[in-house]
Structure 1
Amino acid sequence: MTNAPASSRLFESTALGSLTLPNRLVMPPLTRNRAGADGVPRPLMATHYAQRAGAGLIIAEGTTPNAVGQTYPNIPAMHSDAHVTGWRAVTDAVRAGGGRMFLQLQHGGRVGHPDTSGHLPVAPSPIALPETIHTPSGRQEAVVPRAMTADDIRQTVADFAAAARRAVDAGFEGVEVHAANGHLLHQFLAKNTNRRTDAYGGSVAHRVRFVVEVVRAVADAIGADRVGVRVSPGVTVNGIDEGTAEDTAELYHALVPALAALDPVYLHVIFADPGQPLFRWIRAAWPHTLIANPVLGFGGPLPADGGKAAGERLLDAGADLISLGRAFLANPDLVERLRVGAPLNPLREANWMYSGDEAGYNDYPTLAGTAALAAV
């Protein structure tokens, strides 16, 4: 039984750079730990993403550009030929279903562990993650990371650029540089994780430098029209603390124009609130496509509409595209369900991240599948 909704801008076709998107709904990066131990995507990942090819855009899960940047066990990577081959099977499957894909490049920085990556994590400063971290043997205390040298910084910038070139070789339309959620680039931005006294720390102008250098290198490698950037103003996950609300505003008032000058095709703001002055300022300052991820109660129950109403409010506030995470996890055919007003599958929290198999990943029913079973 469905209740046909009124027309919504969420289902309008729109442009993203040279791409034509059939709707404004984005599947954002969602770490699910289903790659092999070597970071090579497995066949069940191709199935998972192909099931969701109806999204206007899929941004594939956080993928490490080098070995030391690995966050958790069984996350995908993009620093070898085997990684390119594994991801090519995914992009081929999505393209066959009519979809379009970017790949998020994510370096964990201090969010990592030697038992997972085989390396001591690196970070702007030797300040440990203030919580335990998932490893192959279970949760462990975080280790103190090694402060990055100037050579480490140069090499990491080069690794992001190389991973971006590999992503294009693997069939992705582009990449999203992850500068959010307490990972390495965000660690350079935030006051509590960046205690450096060189040209990459101290003032806001210095703290944004590493992010700008990474985005510039990636844009130079594959073209700015293939590059997006994700940010999370004020978000405190992974022990990050940008400071006061005024500090956060000062930080993004410096970062957003510096990024805009590089002409990335989009900026992706998570936990966006149309009532917040900083979001409104970002919309006014950002000259290109703005993807907004609504505040839906992090860790709480998913709204019955999956975030549709919140997404429409963000469109009204100037966003161009809307990313909905948990709703896409539980509903492979989310776009169609929202379009016709069908009820959504509930998310099975027991398989939220670490199960490693099809359960809670590829076994959510579609409307078509449910109808077929009912007709038997």
Structure 2
Amino acid sequence: MTKTQTLFQSYDLQDTLKLKNRIVMAPLTRCMATDELVPTQAMADYYARRADAGLIISEATLVSQDGQGYPNAPGLYTEAQVAGWKKVTQAIHQNKGKIFAQIWHTGRVSHSIYHQGQVPMAPSAIRLEGRVPRTDDLEYETPRAMNLEDIERIKSNFVTAAKNAQRAGFDGIEIHGANGYLIDQFLHRDSNHRTDSYGGSIENMMRFLLEILTQVKAATPDLAIGLRLSPQAYANMKHDDRDKELYDVLLSRLNQYNLAYIHTGMFNDSHNEFLGGTVTQYIRKNYLGTVIASGGYSADDAVHAIENKYADLVAIGRPFIANHDYVTKIQEQKKLVEYDPEMLTSLY
């Protein structure tokens, strides 16, 4: 089978969504919304130009203002934001594309500049080392540990964001449980030192995510739900050997949740000694449903992953920023424009 045949096979996602090819546009943090965190017409045009992907996963979208960690990242918690996203989904659907909203809360990967001087929240009061991106070299602060009221509120915010995504016309949602953000912070020993029902044991550390999934599914039973995970701590997180034991249990448990897919949360999905292969291969070994590979894949890498059954779909990131016609170029075997960080200053 040729590269074109492999990547351009259709794919049935949960028997409800037929994807026209196996290429997914990865979520890409562009920070181009208004100061009120409302999606713009330029964003609608940007996504619509890429609607020939089998599936687009939106940039990370806030479930609440207290989850903000980057400037001008869009939200899905106000009516204006829902209206802005409607323009995006309508533009994509007019071009016969499909899009999921990736919804998130950044937790400790934030700063008080986004929260009227209040420090951000996290599972535990453990500071993330490093500097806040897109600022004048501000350092991360020690977050405050979430209390049970905070936890209940944030779970409710994920439910509301899922409902709003449905109202805005998204074909599904992806819950962002990766890359060191809030949900991921509950799932790793580096960031979760709680001693209550949300920390300590594997069952307790998984509870926040599984309760979000349960509540979102109950509130939006017809909505396709994907999940992004980072079993290997690498972004905004320090490694701990005990994490694998948790993810062995978690991935097995997730087989009961009828998810649309699990999406690898890696920037570079290379061989990992800790997991005995790539993160995508590890997920495939433990999870029976659809797997989306992500993390520096070329078209050739994508073909290899699909043909070797490591993944069903492959998400492409930076090449999509540089090439709005990425899918056509791959199909016609044309040369790609090389990604340049300067491209992040505009939505082409």
TM-score, with structure 2 as normaliser: 0.92
SS of the residue 2:192 aligns to: coil
C-alpha contact (below 8 Å) 1:224/1:262 kept by paired residues: no
The answer to whether 1:331 aligns with 2:332 is no
C-alpha contact (below 8 Å) 1:273/1:314 kept by paired residues: no
Number of the residue aligned with 2:8: 11
The answer to whether 1:252 aligns with 2:247 is yes
Cα deviation 1:224-276 (Å, max 9, x = unaligned): 751000012214112x12412xx232121111122221211111013345771
Judged with a 3 Å threshold, the aligned counterparts in structure 2 of structure 1 residues 153 and 251 are, in CA distance, closer, same or farther, namely same
- Which residue identity lines up with residue 82 of structure 2 in the other structure? V
User: How far 1:280 sits from its partner (Å)?
Assistant: 3.5
Number of the residue aligned with 1:300: none
- Which residue identity lines up with residue 343 of structure 1 in the other structure? K
Cα deviation 1:81-135 (Å, max 9, x = unaligned): 1110010011111111111010000100001112124343110001122011036
Judged with a 3 Å threshold, the aligned counterparts in structure 2 of structure 1 residues 331 and 195 are, in CA distance, closer, same or farther, namely same
C-alpha contact (below 8 Å) 1:25/1:324 kept by paired residues: yes
**Cα distance in 2, alignment partners of residues 255 and 15 from structure 1:** 25
- Which residue identity lines up with residue 8 of structure 2 in the other structure? F
C-alpha contact (below 8 Å) 1:225/1:265 kept by paired residues: no
SS of the residue 1:33 aligns to: coil
Name whichever of 341-350 and 161-170 sits farther off.
341-350
Number of the residue aligned with 1:303: none
SS of the residue 2:52 aligns to: coil
Cα deviation 1:58-94 (Å, max 9, x = unaligned): 0000011011101101000011111100100111111
**Cα distance in 1, alignment partners of residues 78 and 29 from structure 2:** 20
Structural mapping, 1:223-372, within 5 Å:
223=221, 226-238=224-236, 240-244=237-241, 247-271=242-266, 272-273=269-270, 276=277, 279-296=280-297, 307-318=298-309, 319-352=311-344, 355=345, 359=346, 361-362=347-348
C-alpha contact (below 8 Å) 1:181/1:236 kept by paired residues: yes
Identity of aligned pairs, percent?
36
User: How far 1:282 sits from its partner (Å)?
Assistant: 2.5
SS of the residue 2:211 aligns to: helix
**Cα distance in 1, alignment partners of residues 206 and 308 from structure 2:** 27
User: How far 1:351 sits from its partner (Å)?
Assistant: 3.6
SS of the residue 1:133 aligns to: coil
SS of the residue 1:61 aligns to: coil
Cα deviation 1:165-186 (Å, max 9, x = unaligned): 0000001011100010000011
TM-score, with structure 1 as normaliser: 0.86
Cα deviation 1:13-72 (Å, max 9, x = unaligned): 111120111000000110001001111001110011001000000000001101110110
Select which of 103, 109, 112 maps to 2:107. 109
List gaps (5 residues or longer) in structure 1: 297-306, 363-376
Number of the residue aligned with 2:120: 121
C-alpha contact (below 8 Å) 1:268/1:290 kept by paired residues: yes
Structural mapping, 1:44-55, within 5 Å:
44-55=42-53
Number of the residue aligned with 2:87: 89
**Cα distance in 1, alignment partners of residues 33 and 295 from structure 2:** 28
Cα deviation 1:152-172 (Å, max 9, x = unaligned): 111111110010000000010
Aligned residue pair count: 338
- Which residue identity lines up with residue 122 of structure 2 in the other structure? A
User: How far 1:7 sits from its partner (Å)?
Assistant: 3.6
Judged with a 3 Å threshold, the aligned counterparts in structure 2 of structure 1 residues 215 and 242 are, in CA distance, closer, same or farther, namely farther
Judged with a 3 Å threshold, the aligned counterparts in structure 2 of structure 1 residues 67 and 44 are, in CA distance, closer, same or farther, namely same
RMSD of the TM alignment (CA)? Answer: 1.8
